Amino acid sequence: MPLRYTLLPLLLPATLVGLLVAMLGTPGAAVPVALITLAGSLMALGLSRGALQRQLDRLARSTRGRAEGSGGSAPDPDRLEEVASLEGAIDTLHTRLSARNTELNQESRTLSAVLDSMAEGIWVTDAEGTVVRHNDALRNILQTGAPIVGQRPLAVLRDDQLHDAVMRGCLEGASTHLELELEGLFPRTLSVRVTPLGRDLPGSAAVFHDVTELRRLEKVRQDFVANVSHELRTPITAIRGYAETLQGGALGDAQVAPRMVEIIHRQSERLSELVEDLLELSRLESQQVSLNLTDVPLAEAAARAADTVRPKAEGKGQVVSLHVPAGLVAVGDPRAVEQVLLNLLDNAVKYTPAGGRVDVDGACEDGRCVVRVRDTGVGIEPRHLSRIFERFYRVDKGRSRDMGGTGLGLSIVKHLLQAMDGEVKVESQPNEGSTFTIFLPQAAPARSATG
């Protein structure tokens, strides 16, 4: 406190008392009386300042205690009115601050919970573009264990586009949408949207969405449409070409006309097979096929499928031989099981040169029914094995088409078996032959073979 505020109230009463005593006719006593008054005032001031200091110290301790969360001390009943009112004001302020703090805490926890529950990755940067916060999903999406907070975009993902987008968001307040291709063990495509935080908040936010699967499906769809168009175009072109030639006068040529009509007939059959296969596959993929699951004796299903391909096999001098135990009974849809075996046998005959053989074995292994279709045909190179169940995938396009294949047979086999809780596997060696093995759930033991 400035000295003049303390001295003036002390000197004024002492001077007045001194003057008063002098005026009363005892000037000699004026100075001692004034000094005594000054001393009294000083003592009173000292005492009251000491008391005030103690109460202020106590208030400071109590306020600090509350701020640190250890709770304040009980109020002193003898405290000065001014201190009491100051304490009241501090109390009110403290209560308001605590309530606001609780609200802010709650808001921050809700925000973190929302961010962490999102499938998309999110990061927030400060005005310089340094990441200050991110959610849990971001780590999975970026597949990184390295620290992200405190890093610049280029240090997290070496991508100039992303860095530029973040800086544009921070400095110019511009939003950017971009797609990133991440290389590595598992290449991924990320769709990223960078936006400025807002006028009052410097910095930017980026939302990372993993669109790898989406882009893959788009590519599959585009390839599928291109394949279907191509497959349809081939027989249609042949049909149209021969029909036009016939119209142009060849109809009257007794030698070539029957051959052309025969080709038109074959190509139209191919077209209808293709459409049938496509419809079947589309029904299977959209799970519209309602399978009638029941006990299927596999020897009978294999015999029926073999009867269908036998004329073709015999035409090529091939032997088709069945070794499926009579008691081997699977749970499946009889029509679907027969279709699976027919597709496999048809391929075995198709891709086995004249004079070869096809064997069908059956057994019960590890509680499942297993049927193996083995051929002594052209075989398949290892690099194709994982892809031959894809729609329209062919090892040798020319050969498959020449043999009347649609490129959909194995895909249908895979889907039919999946729908019956079964699966298909393949083993093959080029020029040595192939073995396609199907697995199906076994029917109740009382009615099935034990192997």
Would you tell me which residues interact with ligand ADP (CB under 6 A)?
A: 347-348, 351, 375, 377-380, 388, 393-396, 400, 405-411, 434
Residue closer to ligand ADP, measured from CB, 325 or 407: 407
Smaller CB separation from ligand ADP, 159 or 393: 393
Q: How many CB atoms lie within 10 A of CB 431?
A: 9
**Residue with smaller CB distance to ligand ADP, 135 or 435:** 435
User: In terms of CB distance, is 9 or 404 closer to ligand ADP?
Assistant: 404
Nearest to ligand ADP by Cβ — which residue? 405
**Shortest distance, position 170 Cβ to ligand ADP, whole Å:** 54
d(CA 322, CA 289): 29
Q: Which residues pair with 438 in a beta bridge?
A: 371, 424
Residue 308: CB minimum distance to ligand ADP, A:
15
The H or E element containing residue 384 is helix 382-385
Q: How far is the CB of 440 from ligand ADP (least distance, A)?
A: 19
> Nearest 10 degrees: CA dihedral of 150, 156, 161, 167?
0
Cα torsion through 192, 198, 199, 201, rounded to 10: -110
Structure tokens at 178: 């971009």
Q: Which is nearer to ligand ADP, 46 or 430 (CB)?
A: 430
Give the residue from 142, 207, 198 showing the smallest Cα distance to 170: 198
CB of 322 to ligand ADP, least distance (A): 17
| Least distance CB 128 / ligand ADP (angstroms) | 57
In whole angstroms, the minimum distance from the beta carbon of 421 to ligand ADP comes to 21
| Long-range contacts, 180-188 (Cβ 8 Å, 24+) | 182/142, 182/157, 184/143, 186/143, 187/212, 188/141, 188/143, 188/212
**C-beta of 320: minimal distance to ligand ADP in Å?**
13
Is residue 324 helix, strand or coil? coil
| Distance (Å, whole) CA 259 – CA 245 | 12
Cβ closer to ligand ADP: 204 or 352?
Answer: 352
Residue type, 61: R
At 365, is the secondary structure helix, strand, or coil?
Answer: strand
Which residues pair with residue 359 across a beta bridge?
321, 374
Query: Nearer Cβ to ligand ADP, position 161 or 437?
Result: 437
